[in-house]
Each structure stands twice: as structure tokens, then as C-alpha cells.
Structure 1
Amino acid sequence: MRSLKILTLVAAMFLCAQMSFAGTTYDKVMKAKVIRAGIMTNSIPGAYYDADNNWVGFDVDIAQEIANRLGCKLDRVKVTDKTRISFLQQGRIDMSVANMTHKRERDKSIDFSITYFFDGQKVLAKKGKFKSLKDMVGQKIATTQGTTSEINIRNLLKELGDPNPNAHVKSFPDYASAFAALQMGSVAGFTTDSTILLGYAAKEPGKYELVGDFFSNEPYGIGLPENDSKWRDTINFTIQDMWKDGTYMKIYNKWYGPDTPYAFPMTEEIEMWP
């Protein structure tokens, strides 16, 4: 029994030593001078591969600017809707800049920065086919698996009187396959955050349109490791500094300005602390 207690004590001391050595995310990042950022690859124009196979987009530029300001190299790590949270939990990335809505449920397992992008959910359909969301009751609508969009559209259809919303919501593994279903006519609509829909609609200008008003509020936060306040403060301060000196809006207008295919007027302001 005595030897077991000793072994337990040694194990506990070893674990504490490991935790102490690991340090905060901020300490590890600043020592390595590398930020590992989880970024999407098919979220047009947030983060995607362009015609020349360059990884580009709003989130890519935001992540790069944060790295630049902290004097770090940016290590881009591919994530999806399904992996962006688990990669943070496993320590495979230091931040997730991946069009992720800040939800209370998600906040139980990871932390978030202040809101760095403001969006809402809509439905994309072939132009002229539907006048309102009510007209889409009973129609099949595509969305992506494991997202808040999937939950929101089911709830909306139910509110609008759809007799079987579960059967009419078709969930796909990613945005590209959901949009492909709309292109092929196997679904009548494709729903997710409106800026993502604008990105896919721009592939075939004039063929698709957004139907109805926003039916959700989607404040995007940068996903961060749980209970790591020094790193969270650093990211928040950096976002605020980018807003204050105008860099944020330069990046925003590059991707969502009035002269882009994805025009989306800025309607909110970044939260600023004195």
C-alpha cells in the first residue's frame, strides 16, 4: 500500500511538472514564433483555394495580420466544421479562424475571441423560383453537417409549418457538396451563413439569389484554447488594434467591399475596450 501511495505521488508530481513545462499558449507561441491557425479551405470568400491554387480569403488575411503583429510565422492548418473545435482541444492549433459562430454550447469546451465578423443565415436558391422563405416549405434544402445552420433551418421550417422538417433538410459533409446538390437540382435551396452563400453564388453570376431575410444572428469569434486568458487577451487586443488603425476595414473591403463579387456592407463595429 505504501509503495502504491509513493507511485501515485510521483505520478502526480510528474503530471504537475509537465503542465508547468507546457506553459500558456502565449508563452509557447512567442517562444516558437509560430502561430498554428486552423483555417477552412472551401468557405468562399472566407478561406478557399483560388484558380491558381493559392489559399486565400478574408480569414486567411485576418490570421496572417495577427501573426504579423505578434512577430510570428503563420502555420496554416486545414480544418473543417467537424474538426475545428477538436483540433483546439487536442492542442493541434493555437487558434481557429474558421467562420465559427460563437455559441454558448461551443463555449463549454473552448473559448472565443470578441466577435470579429458579423453575419446571419439565409437560403440560396435559383433566381426567381421563390419569393419568400414560406414558399420553401416542403422543399428539400441543403446544409452542412454538424453546424448551427443545420439546426436553424430545421427550426425555421418547423415554425413555417413544414410537416416534416427533418426529412426536408439534407445535410452534406461540406459547402461544396451542398452547393453541387443545388446546381444539380436535387435540392431547392442551400442554406448557411449569407457571406458563404454569396461566395458560391458568384461562381455562376446571375443564376442564384438569396431568399428572404436573415433568420439567425451569426457572430463569428476566433476559437481559442479553453481557460487560457493571456492568449485570449492577446488575440482580443490585436483585433481591436487592427480595427482602430483601419487595417481591419482594408481587409474587409478587399473581400466584401462594394466592388467585389461578395459585396456585404459592414453593419456592426468591433467591440473596443478603453
Structure 2
Amino acid sequence: MRTRFPRVMGAVAALAAVALTAAACGSSEPRDVLADAAAGHLTIGTKYDQPGLGLREPDRTMTGFDVAVAKYVANYLGVPESGITWRESPSGQRENLIRNGEVDFIAGTYSITDSRKRVVDFAGPYFIAGQSLLVRADDDSITGAESLEDGKKLCSVSGSTPAQEIKRSYPGVQLQEFDSYSSCVEALYRGKVDALTTDDIILAGYAAQYPGEFKLVGEPFTTELYGIGLPKGDTDARMKINDAIEDMVATGAWQRALEESIGGSGYELPPSPTVYRY
């Protein structure tokens, strides 16, 4: 296991670098989501380095629960999987990707917050998560967020809701912000940080990908509503995407997608959320 880890994470990092280079090109105005769907094509943002949620596999296929939700929404809007172009959407770049027209919408562990709602619109939520901690499997010194304030080094991602929560609620923690969660996982594996914080479902995906290396500790200490981010003011598209999420839940496709993506991780699967129709 330990001999394979650096090679796997290196491959993920290389894919991320390629995607970020590609993301440099795009328009400067938000897209018209329903017009693009009517034309048979959507550019959808998601994460590329989150096992069980949004992961770009070595063969370039996309897997995970966020990806399944995005595919279902696209199909509901009349766009088959063959009409989707995927775009990596790092946490700190999501609002700009939407505003600059580089994506039609983003389904990528995108927490709905008041500050983000001033810039983009959200459909959903399609999932409710909670912020937690991932540590090395042999580390019993960390039991929750409070135990991090005793000189521990914590990793999260720049621009993410979890990083902002740590700064606000636990200012004594030595927070190190990286560009991606895969970089945090590698730093945790190599002992450069003591813990990684983000939402529990994301951490469960990493723990499942590297069995015996990591474990989740403590109780979730926030509530995160995952929504689909889209251009501000595109009310028709937002309502249609809300319809798609409700349809996914009603048909059982939501539950099946979650079980297929995360069911083997040991993470306790939550019930489906109520769409709030922001």
C-alpha cells in the first residue's frame, strides 16, 4: 500500500495540472444553461480528485456521486453523457468559472453559503454533509477539532468552506491551505500535517481508497448543504435543475447513486435532502 500511494497521488496531481491549464481559456460572460442544453451540450464543473464524489480516472472517465448527480441533471435537461464536457473546478475558482462562462454549472461538493449566493445561484441542496477530520490510522492523539489547538498542523483547501470555518472557530490551529484535497492527503500520509479537514463524505472517500492508512475522528461540527452552482439570475435553469434533483430522489436514482459511490466506505448514508428552491 505504501509503495503505491505516491505514484497514485502523483498521477492525480498531474491530471489536475492539465485541467487547470485548460481552464485558463474561456469566455468572459456567464453561459445560458438552458440554451446550451437545447443545443445538446453542457460544460459541467466538478472535482477531479475526490474518490467517491468526483474523480477523474486514469482512463479519463469521471466517477463519483457528484458526477452521477450532474449526469442525471444533464440528461433531464436533454443532454446525454456524450454531450458533457467536464471541467475541473477547484474550490477557490468555482465562482469565477461560473461568472466567466467556463462552465454551465458546477456539481462538486459546493456548499451553499450566503456569501456565495451573492455571486452565483444554487439549485438544491442535493446532499447534506458535515465537516470532520481525517488522521493517520495509528494516531490517537486527535479526537476532535478542539484537540487540534495543541500545536497540531491541519490541512485544508484554499477558498473552501472548511478552511474558513477553522479560521473562524478555531483560530489557534496551525492551518495549512493547499490547492487540492489530494495534496492534503499526500501531506498527511507523509507526516507533514497531522490532520485533514473537510466534509465527512469526502474524507470517507479517501479512507476507502486507502484502507488501513487513515481514519475519521470526532463528530461532524458543521452542516454543509451541497448545491449545484449556476449563473446568477438564471432562474429558469435553477428551477429546472431543482426539478431534476427532485426527480432523481423520487425515482430512487439518488439512493442508488449514493450507494454505488460511497456505500462500501463504511460511511453511514444519510437520507435524501429536501430541495429548498433558493
What TM bracket, shorter-length normalisation?
0.7 to 0.9
Further displaced range: 180-189 or 22-31: 22-31
Q: Report if aligned partners of 2:31, 2:101 keep a CA contact under 8 Å in 1.
A: no
Q: Report if aligned partners of 1:195, 1:262 keep a CA contact under 8 Å in 2.
A: no
CA distance in 2, matches of 1:144, 1:223: 19
Structure 2 spans left out of the alignment, 5+ residues: 1-28
Tell me the CA shift for residue 263 of structure 1: 3.1
Q: C-alpha deviations, 1:38-73, integer Å up to 9, x for none?
A: 111012211112354432111111111112222212
Further displaced range: 203-212 or 186-195: 203-212
1:172-211 to structure 2, matched below 5 A, reads 172-211=178-217
Tell me the CA shift for residue 78 of structure 1: 2.0
Q: 1:139 aligns to what?
A: 152
CA distance in 2, matches of 1:232, 1:271: 11
Q: 1:152 aligns to what?
A: 165
Q: 1:265 aligns to what?
A: 269
Q: C-alpha deviations, 1:147-206, integer Å up to 9, x for none?
A: 111111233324xxx3xx3xx111111111111111111111111111111112223212
CA distance in 2, matches of 1:36, 1:109: 19
Q: 1:67 aligns to what?
A: 74
Relative to structure 1, the CA distance from residue 261 to residue 53 in structure 2 (aligned partners, 3 Å threshold; closer, same or farther) is farther
Tell me the CA shift for residue 270 of structure 1: 2.9
Q: Report if aligned partners of 2:131, 2:222 keep a CA contact under 8 Å in 1.
A: yes
Relative to structure 1, the CA distance from residue 225 to residue 130 in structure 2 (aligned partners, 3 Å threshold; closer, same or farther) is same
RMSD (Å), alpha carbons: 2.1
CA distance in 2, matches of 1:23, 1:140: 39
Q: 1:18 aligns to what?
A: none
TM-score by length of 1: 0.82
CA distance in 2, matches of 1:96, 1:114: 12
CA distance in 1, matches of 2:251, 2:271: 18
Q: Report if aligned partners of 2:34, 2:77 keep a CA contact under 8 Å in 1.
A: no
Tell me the CA shift for residue 135 of structure 1: 2.6
Q: Report if aligned partners of 1:116, 1:220 keep a CA contact under 8 Å in 2.
A: yes
Q: State the number of aligned residues.
A: 243
Q: 2:40 aligns to what?
A: 33
One-letter amino acid of the structure 2 residue matched with residue 122 of structure 1: S
CA distance in 1, matches of 2:253, 2:222: 28
Q: 2:102 aligns to what?
A: 92
* Structure with greater Cα Rg: 1
Q: 2:117 aligns to what?
A: 107
Q: Report if aligned partners of 1:130, 1:136 keep a CA contact under 8 Å in 2.
A: no
CA distance in 2, matches of 1:24, 1:82: 20
| SS at 1:202 equivalent | helix
Relative to structure 1, the CA distance from residue 27 to residue 265 in structure 2 (aligned partners, 3 Å threshold; closer, same or farther) is closer
Further displaced range: 70-79 or 226-235: 70-79
| SS at 2:113 equivalent | coil
TM-score by length of 2: 0.81
Q: Report if aligned partners of 1:63, 1:74 keep a CA contact under 8 Å in 2.
A: no
One-letter amino acid of the structure 1 residue matched with residue 140 of structure 2: K
CA distance in 2, matches of 1:54, 1:188: 32
Q: Report if aligned partners of 1:46, 1:196 keep a CA contact under 8 Å in 2.
A: yes
Tell me the CA shift for residue 211 of structure 1: 1.5
Choose which of 58, 61, 83 in structure 2 pairs with 1:54.
Answer: 61
Q: 1:7 aligns to what?
A: none
Q: Report if aligned partners of 2:30, 2:101 keep a CA contact under 8 Å in 1.
A: no
One-letter amino acid of the structure 2 residue matched with residue 101 of structure 1: S
Structure 1 residue ranges, 4+ long, deviating more than 6 angstroms after superposition:
none
